[in-house]
């Protein structure tokens, strides 16, 4: 996966009394039932194809309701032995689709448009600038108290990144009073964003495969719920700039130490990033119960 972190953090009702617990434990994922229902044809590839995003109910008028998008995006790249199977990856939106297949191409077009529109940035009134960079890029902050149009944009970004991270969440259902969102703007485009929350503790990730976390708690103040960077802008230090900015402006008057950052469900590349960013072999992850409401 090319993506960094996925949310949500887990919300275990009853953390078992054991030393470690699996952080991807399915009991903690409300969406798993949907997933299992539509899982029968997964071939194990890593990228989603347009075929996999199709839904019988999908119409042109409302092609990407979140539910449809998630349900259909549970499946991965499908290779059912078609003769003319010719998958391509769109270099802009990162979707894999079969060219020459009308429905695939149409599905890709629709997603592509949504992707492009979601990442357009028109100058906001009352921008809350958290950081400015010499190359013209800047980072804006959006808080729960920010105007509705800003939340709408964040929700669009959620939608785009949901698809890539294979999760399904809207902004409203995940926003906490302690949430903050930082978006990275360059050349009137949104190149990425990060979603953070206040946490009061975290757990070490003690094993990566399968992922296990220690039940021993460690201090943490900032939980990184989600980071997403536009495919074209990856590996340019944007995630680092975003987290540096978070550390300097999330808690007023305080600079958060790198070791006080905790992550939620990192993907493979997310783990590498977390280690390189925190300059350590191990980093912590947080659960829903660690969030300071």
Binding site for Zn ion (CB under 5 A): 90, 92-93, 112
| CB closer to Zn ion out of 90 and 143 | 90
Shortest Cβ contact with Zn ion: which residue? 90
Retrieve residue 95's tokens: 């979707």
**Smallest gap from residue 183 Cβ to Zn ion (A):** 21
Six-digit token string for 77: 């790249």
Which residue's CB is nearer to Zn ion, number 164 or number 195? Answer: 164
CA distance 228 to 193: 6
> Please, what is the minimum distance in Å from the beta carbon of residue 162 to Zn ion?
16
CA–chain centroid gap for 206, Å, is: 22
Distance (Å) of CA 243 to CA 11, 17, 25, 139, 153: 24, 33, 27, 11, 20
**Other C-beta atoms lying within 10 Å of the C-beta of residue 98:** 22
Q: What number of other Cβ atoms are within 10 A of residue 152's Cβ?
A: 11
Within 10 angstroms of residue 125's Cβ, the number of other Cβ atoms is 6
* Shortest Å distance, C-beta 106 to Zn ion: 12
User: Judged by CB, which is closer to Zn ion: 95, or 285?
Assistant: 95
CB of 190 to Zn ion, least distance (A): 16
CB of 95 to Zn ion, least distance (A): 5
Q: Which is nearer to Zn ion, 96 or 130 (CB)?
A: 96
Nearer to Zn ion by Cβ, of 7 and 161: the residue is: 161
Q: How far is CA 31 from CA 129, 207, 223, in A?
A: 35, 24, 22
């Amino acid at each position: 996966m090319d993506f960094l972190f996925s949310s949500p953090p887990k919300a275990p009702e009853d953390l078992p009394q054991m030393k470690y617990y699996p952080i991807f434990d399915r009991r903690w994922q409300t969406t798993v039932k949907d997933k299992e229902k539509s899982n029968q044809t997964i071939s194990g590839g890593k990228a989603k194809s347009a075929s996999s995003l199709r839904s019988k109910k999908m119409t042109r008028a409302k092609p990407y309701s979140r539910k449809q998008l998630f349900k259909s995006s549970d499946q991965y790249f499908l290779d059912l032995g078609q003769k003319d199977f010719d998958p391509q990856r769109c270099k802009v939106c990162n979707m894999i689709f079969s060219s020459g297949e009308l429905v695939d191409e149409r599905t890709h077009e629709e997603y592509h448009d949504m992707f492009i529109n979601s990442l357009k940035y028109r100058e906001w009134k009352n921008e809350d600038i958290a950081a400015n960079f010499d190359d013209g890029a800047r980072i804006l902050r959006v808080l729960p108290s920010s105007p509705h149009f800003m939340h709408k944009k964040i929700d669009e970004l959620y939608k785009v990144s949901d698809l890539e991270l294979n999760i399904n969440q809207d902004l409203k259902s995940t926003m906490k009073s302690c949430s903050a969102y930082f978006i990275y703007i360059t050349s009137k485009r949104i190149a990425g964003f990060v979603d953070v929350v206040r946490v009061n503790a975290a757990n070490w990730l003690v094993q990566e495969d399968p992922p296990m976390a220690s039940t021993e708690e460690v201090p943490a103040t900032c939980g990184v719920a989600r980071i997403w960077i536009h495919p074209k802008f990856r590996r340019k230090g944007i995630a680092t700039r975003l987290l540096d900015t978070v550390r300097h402006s999330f808690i007023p008057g305080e600079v958060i130490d790198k070791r006080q950052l905790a992550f939620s469900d990192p993907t493979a590349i997310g783990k590498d990033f977390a280690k390189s960013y925190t300059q350590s072999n191990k980093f912590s992850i947080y659960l829903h119960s660690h969030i300071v409401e």
